[in-house]
């Protein structure tokens, strides 16, 4: 057996690597399927081969590890799958003194070992006596591919779909035959479609023109990138004028299919751009909306606004430190806490500094700039100048795969939704509560509001606190998108002011629509102009826009606003 595989490896051109390993896994699976049962060999020969293969894993050489994985598959041992899984998850160790391989579970500084041969407990070892068997990308890919073939018969359709997609990543004749065998017994639509697409791609290589034609028909409308690549290749004209696809009819069908695919692709890419724009716009709006209150309603040029967002982001970090077991919930908990922290600091700033400066808006700029420097340095002293790692909860990671050409990342999607919720709540507070009424009254006519018994000082503090608190909430969202460090605020302050001014000072709807349109325009330009030029163009457009409409998108109207 060992000899045989040695000769097998010696075959020139059989490059070691994922397809090679997967193929053997597939053969094995095919064999199992043919027998209609999972093989349960207990034979001594297989155990020996398995044991030997295991021993070969005890190395730091990745090439050798790949070979050992191949041997493990060849051994067709009942525990092969468990071992491969353990290797993929980094739970496979070898003892330094005798190079024996174990499945290990880390417990503080020690390891609970399990013998992979018998799956029996092998006692506890000191962690420093064992070496973890590491993997690299190529090895992990091979392992995943090998494990996928085990999953093809999994009762869970999602697992099967993932397995099929894993196999589609590198198709060859063996996989095709496996997929063909699986096709008839597959009862889930999504999985079957995936299999059919894969088979159709394979059929493009058929010698029979009718089969190829049928395959092209099958692929029409498919957004699988591989399908697109193969179809494009088939109609591409080589240097000598010949085509990869010899049959004229098939070529025409392929062109038609490509046309259809291209149409869909450009449709989805427009959707994608729109979503990118909306999500960028949401970030801008979130960053700006607190400012729309402190700056727009109160007239304070709050240069510390960015630092209040930074406080919100750091709050998220601290909350995660406090509840490391519940990362998923930590972000939700952080929202009210960040509101309270940033809002509280905002009230402090208002009571300590701002209240002496009403009616002197430009001086608020100076003072809040000073405050922002101090806040930055405080954070630097507490948390160090380094960025802090804020974890992304599982429910915010990944993307919503609409189809193979269009997916929406969850974190961006949630940010859009989150922004809308924050905006709605803010509108409610300002329009429906007595605080909101007072805020608007003070904004419009301070003296009059005061004479009517509104405690303007109290309203000022709460308004500033509200704006600051919302900045903190925005910081929670930003912590999921970007660095959490002392400079976080600086990178958003300019953009925030632009959004508020573009929308029209004192108008929350203006901020919403302004931020969204700036985001969409920026993203629409980016594919043509690149990220930098797109931003420059947006800035120039903003300058020209303001000179067309000197009071922003939604100016405050009436005689009061004119003077």
- Check residue 557 for interaction with other proteins (CB under 8 A): yes
Q: Which lies closer to other proteins via its Cβ, residue 182 or residue 412? A: 412
- Check residue 529 for interaction with other proteins (CB under 8 A): no
DSSP state of 549: S
DSSP state of 392: P
How many angstroms separate the CA atoms of 75 and 5, rounded? 10
510, 561 Cβ separation under 8 angstroms: no
Tell me which of 123, 221, 246, 389 binds other proteins, using CB under 8 A.
389
Of 38-46, 122-130, 349-357, 427-435: span binding other proteins (CB under 8 A)? 349-357
| Angle of CA points 153, 156, 162, to nearest 5° | 75
How many angstroms separate the CA atoms of 380 and 376, rounded? 6
Tell me which of 206, 266, 377, 403 binds other proteins, using CB under 8 A.
377
Give residues 127-156 in contact with other proteins (rule: CB under 8 A).
Answer: 134, 136-138, 140-141, 144
Q: Which lies closer to other proteins via its Cβ, residue 190 or residue 540? A: 540
- Check residue 238 for interaction with other proteins (CB under 8 A): no
Give residues 274-303 in contact with other proteins (rule: CB under 8 A).
Answer: 276, 279-280, 283, 295, 301, 303
Tell me which of 41, 221, 225, 246 binds other proteins, using CB under 8 A.
225
With a CB cutoff of 8 Å and minimum separation 6, the contacts of 490 are: 306, 376
How many angstroms separate the CA atoms of 484 and 529, rounded? 29
Least distance to other proteins from the beta carbon of 549, Å? 8
Of 42-50, 111-119, 150-158, 385-393: span binding other proteins (CB under 8 A)? 385-393
Of 255-263, 438-446, 467-475, 541-549: span binding other proteins (CB under 8 A)? 541-549
- Check residue 362 for interaction with other proteins (CB under 8 A): yes
Tell me which of 8, 41, 398, 417 binds other proteins, using CB under 8 A.
398
Least distance to other proteins from the beta carbon of 453, Å? 24
Tell me which of 93, 410, 464, 554 binds other proteins, using CB under 8 A.
410
What are the helix (H) ranges across 384-507? 410-432, 434-444, 446-451, 456-479, 490-503
Give residue 528's Cα distance to chain centre.
Answer: 24
163, 130 Cβ separation under 8 angstroms: no
- Check residue 107 for interaction with other proteins (CB under 8 A): no
- Check residue 505 for interaction with other proteins (CB under 8 A): yes
How many angstroms separate the CA atoms of 57 and 54, rounded? 5
Of 181-189, 286-294, 427-435, 475-483: span binding other proteins (CB under 8 A)? 475-483
Tell me which of 154, 220, 226, 247 binds other proteins, using CB under 8 A.
226
Q: What is the DSSP string of 27-87?
A: HHHHHHHHHTS------HHHHHHHHHHHHHTSSS-HHHHHHHHHHHHHHT-TTHHHHHHHH
Q: Judged by CB under 8 A, how many residues of this single chain contact other proteins?
A: 100
Least distance to other proteins from the beta carbon of 454, Å? 24
Give residues 34-63 in contact with other proteins (rule: CB under 8 A).
Answer: 62
Burial of 330 (0-12, 13-18, 19+ CB in 10 A): buried
Least distance to other proteins from the beta carbon of 21, Å? 13
Least distance to other proteins from the beta carbon of 413, Å? 10
Burial of 182 (0-12, 13-18, 19+ CB in 10 A): buried
Report which of 338, 301, 331 is spatially closest to residue 474, judged by C-alpha positions. 338
- Check residue 258 for interaction with other proteins (CB under 8 A): no
**Host H or E run for residue 400:** strand 399-403
Least distance to other proteins from the beta carbon of 45, Å? 34
What are the helix (H) ranges across 186-295? 189-203, 209-219, 225-235, 248-291
Of 110-118, 204-212, 382-390, 427-435: span binding other proteins (CB under 8 A)? 382-390
Residue with tokens 């029409």: 220
Residue with tokens 């919930």: 329
With a CB cutoff of 8 Å and minimum separation 6, the contacts of 102 are: 92, 93, 94, 95, 111, 113, 114, 115, 116, 122, 125, 130
- Check residue 552 for interaction with other proteins (CB under 8 A): yes
Report which of 448, 417, 431 is spatially closest to residue 335, judged by C-alpha positions. 417
Residue 398 — left, alpha, or beta (φ > 0 → left; ψ -120 to 50 → alpha)?
A: left
Least distance to other proteins from the beta carbon of 84, Å? 15
- Check residue 518 for interaction with other proteins (CB under 8 A): no
- Check residue 211 for interaction with other proteins (CB under 8 A): no
Give me the 12-31 binding string for other proteins, x by CB under 8 A, dash otherwise: -----x--------------
Give me the 154-183 binding string for other proteins, x by CB under 8 A, dash otherwise: ---------------x--------------
- Check residue 526 for interaction with other proteins (CB under 8 A): yes
499, 474 Cβ separation under 8 angstroms: no
Q: Which lies closer to other proteins via its Cβ, residue 9 or residue 356? A: 356
Of 35-43, 66-74, 251-259, 386-394: span binding other proteins (CB under 8 A)? 386-394
Q: Which lies closer to other proteins via its Cβ, residue 100 or residue 230? A: 230
Q: Which lies closer to other proteins via its Cβ, residue 13 or residue 155? A: 13
How many angstroms separate the CA atoms of 49 and 534, rounded? 61
What is the number of residues in the chain?
563
Tell me which of 48, 183, 193, 407 binds other proteins, using CB under 8 A.
407
């Amino acid at each position: 057996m060992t000899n045989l595989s040695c000769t097998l490896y010696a075959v020139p051109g059989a490059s070691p690597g994922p397809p090679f390993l997967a193929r053997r896994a597939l053969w094995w699976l095919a064999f199992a399927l043919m027998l209609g049962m999972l093989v349960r060999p207990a034979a001594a020969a297989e155990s020996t081969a398995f044991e030997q293969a295991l021993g070969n894993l005890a190395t730091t050489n990745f090439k050798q590890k790949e070979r050992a994985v191949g041997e493990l598959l060849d051994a067709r041992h009942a525990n092969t799958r468990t071992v491969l899984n353990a290797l993929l998850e980094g739970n496979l160790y070898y003892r330094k003194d005798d190079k024996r391989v174990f499945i290990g579970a880390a417990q503080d500084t020690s390891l609970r070992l399990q013998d992979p041969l018998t799956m029996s407990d092998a006692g506890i070892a000191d962690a420093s006596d064992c070496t973890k068997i590491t993997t690299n990308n190529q090895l992990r890919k091979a392992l995943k591919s090998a494990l996928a073939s085990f999953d093809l018969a999994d009762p869970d359709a999602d697992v099967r779909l993932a397995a099929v997609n894993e196999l589609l990543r590198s198709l060859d004749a063996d996989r095709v035959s496996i997929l063909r065998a699986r096709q008839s017994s597959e009862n889930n639509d999504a999985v079957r479609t995936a299999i059919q697409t894969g088979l159709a791609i394979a059929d493009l290589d058929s010698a029979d023109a009718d089969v190829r034609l049928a395959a092209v028909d099958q692929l029409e409308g498919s957004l699988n990138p591989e399908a697109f690549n193969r179809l494009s290749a088939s109609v591409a004209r080589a240097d000598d004028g010949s085509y990869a696809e010899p049959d004229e009819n098939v070529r025409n069908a392929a062109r038609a299919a490509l046309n259809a695919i291209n149409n869909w692709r450009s449709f989805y890419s427009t959707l994608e751009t729109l979503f990118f724009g909306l999500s960028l716009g949401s970030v801008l709006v979130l960053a700006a909306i607190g400012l729309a209150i402190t700056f727009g309603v109160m007239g304070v040029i709050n240069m510390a606004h960015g630092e209040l967002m930074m406080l919100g982001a750091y709050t998220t970090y601290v909350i995660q430190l406090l509840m490391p077991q519940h990362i998923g919930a930590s972000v939700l908990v952080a929202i009210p806490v960040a509101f309270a922290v940033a809002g509280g600091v905002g009230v402090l700033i208002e009571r300590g500094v701002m209240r002496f400066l009403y009616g002197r808006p430009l001086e608020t700029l100076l003072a809040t700039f000073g405050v922002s420097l101090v806040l930055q340095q405080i954070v630097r002293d507490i948390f160090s100048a380094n960025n802090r790692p804020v974890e992304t909860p599982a429910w915010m990671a990944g993307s919503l795969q609409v189809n193979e050409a269009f997916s929406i990342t969850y974190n961006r999607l949630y940010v859009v939704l989150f922004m809308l919720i924050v905006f709605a709540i803010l509108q409610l507070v300002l329009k429906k509560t007595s605080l909101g009424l007072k805020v608007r009254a003070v904004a419009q006519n301070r003296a009059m509001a005061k004479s009517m018994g509104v405690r303007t000082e109290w309203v000022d503090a709460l308004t500033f606190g509200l704006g600051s608190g919302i900045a903190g909430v925005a910081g929670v969202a930003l912590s999921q998108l970007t660095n959490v460090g002392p400079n976080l605020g600086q990178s958003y302050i300019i953009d925030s002011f632009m959004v508020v001014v573009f929308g029209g000072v004192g108008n929350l709807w203006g901020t919403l629509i302004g931020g969204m349109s700036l985001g969409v325009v920026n993203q629409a330009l980016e594919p043509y102009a690149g990220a930098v030029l797109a931003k420059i163009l947006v800035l120039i457009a903003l300058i020209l826009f303001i000179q067309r409409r000197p009071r922003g998108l939604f100016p405050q109207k009436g005689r009061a606003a004119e003077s």
